[in-house]
């Protein structure tokens, strides 16, 4: 009888004087662990945001029955040449979703640039919903499923693949209305708006090249019990995404 190898969640986060530099994660088998630890360590040490003075590698066992497997969201691309045109494209998608308070949400999005995690915002009352507003909420315990076509998502930094994995997990929760994202990497200007109704809509220019500004907002609609469920899902549910 052959036994399946033990699965592990591996997470890396790196910072410099408490400022976030880089974070990444995988869900992998025991034989892959050494290789992926090295990959994430190299990634922490070679980031365009600077040299970290703190690197944390966290390894936790995961049981197969704890994992939810989801198909990746459909992807669409809107090509824009300037941040202004990019932001206008995001506004257009928010209109398609029937969101009220679009301008307010666009303003509040900028407050997420200083946060470690994402902002969780009530889509209608605009109330901030994170238990710790400085830390924000983290959508974590995610990876691309280990299929041959998905290896690019697991090996080396691939902004698009990693974001599609995260966005697929986030949008799957019934009380998430949409997600807005700009990368905090100075050399990456493509961002997205994602939602169940519209899929993952990439917008190719959302900020000027060289800008370190970036952050995520998860728009929520629901009651208190649904909020608790949503935060627990985002932070604890293990998810593998079929790319």
**Binding region for Mg ion (CB under 5 A):** 184-185
- 43/173 with CB nearer Mg ion: 43
- 122/185 with CB nearer ligand PML: 185
What is the smallest separation between the CB atom of 191 and ligand PML, expressed in angstroms? 6
What is the smallest separation between the CB atom of 201 and Mg ion, expressed in angstroms? 20
Do the Cβ atoms of 119 and 111 come closer than 8 Å?
A: yes
- 185/229 with CB nearer ligand PML: 185
What is the smallest separation between the CB atom of 157 and Mg ion, expressed in angstroms? 9
SS3 236: helix
Selection from Mg ion, ligand PML, none that 181 binds (CB < 5 to 8 A by kind) is ligand PML
Residues 223, 228: Cα–Cα separation, whole Å: 9
Site residues (vs ligand PML, CB under 6 A): 159-160, 163, 181, 183, 185, 188, 190-192, 202
- Number of residues assigned to the chain: 243
Selection from ligand PML, Mg ion, none that 160 binds (CB < 5 to 8 A by kind) is ligand PML
Block residue for tokens 């900020």: 207
- Kindly report the number of other CB atoms within 10 A of residue 116's CB atom: 17
- Give how far Cα 218 sits from Cα of 8, 34, 128, 142, 164, Å: 27, 33, 10, 17, 14
């Amino acid at each position: 009888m052959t036994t399946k190898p033990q699965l592990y969640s591996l997470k890396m986060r790196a910072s410099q004087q408490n400022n976030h530099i880089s974070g990444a994660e995988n869900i992998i088998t025991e034989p892959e662990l050494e290789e992926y630890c090295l990959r994430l360590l190299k990634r922490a040490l070679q980031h365009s945001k600077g040299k970290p003075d703190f690197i944390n590698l966290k390894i936790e066992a995961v049981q197969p029955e704890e994992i939810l497997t989801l198909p990746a969201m459909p992807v669409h691309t809107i090509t824009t040449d300037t941040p202004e045109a990019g932001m206008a494209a995001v506004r257009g998608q928010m209109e398609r979703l029937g969101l009220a308070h679009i301008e307010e949400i666009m303003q509040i999005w900028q407050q997420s640039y200083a946060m470690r995690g994402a902002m969780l915002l009530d889509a209608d009352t605009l109330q901030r919903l994170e238990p710790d507003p400085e830390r924000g909420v983290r959508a974590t315990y995610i990876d691309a499923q280990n299929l041959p076509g998905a290896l690019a998502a697991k090996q080396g930094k691939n902004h698009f693949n990693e974001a599609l994995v995260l966005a697929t997990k986030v949008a799957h929760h019934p009380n998430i209305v949409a997600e807005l994202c700009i990368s905090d990497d100075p050399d990456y200007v493509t961002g997205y708006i994602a939602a169940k109704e519209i899929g993952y809509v990439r917008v190719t220019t959302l900020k000027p090249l060289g800008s370190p500004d970036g952050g995520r907002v998860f728009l929520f609609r629901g009651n208190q019990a649904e909020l608790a469920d949503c935060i627990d899902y985002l932070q604890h549910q293990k998810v593998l995404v079929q790319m």
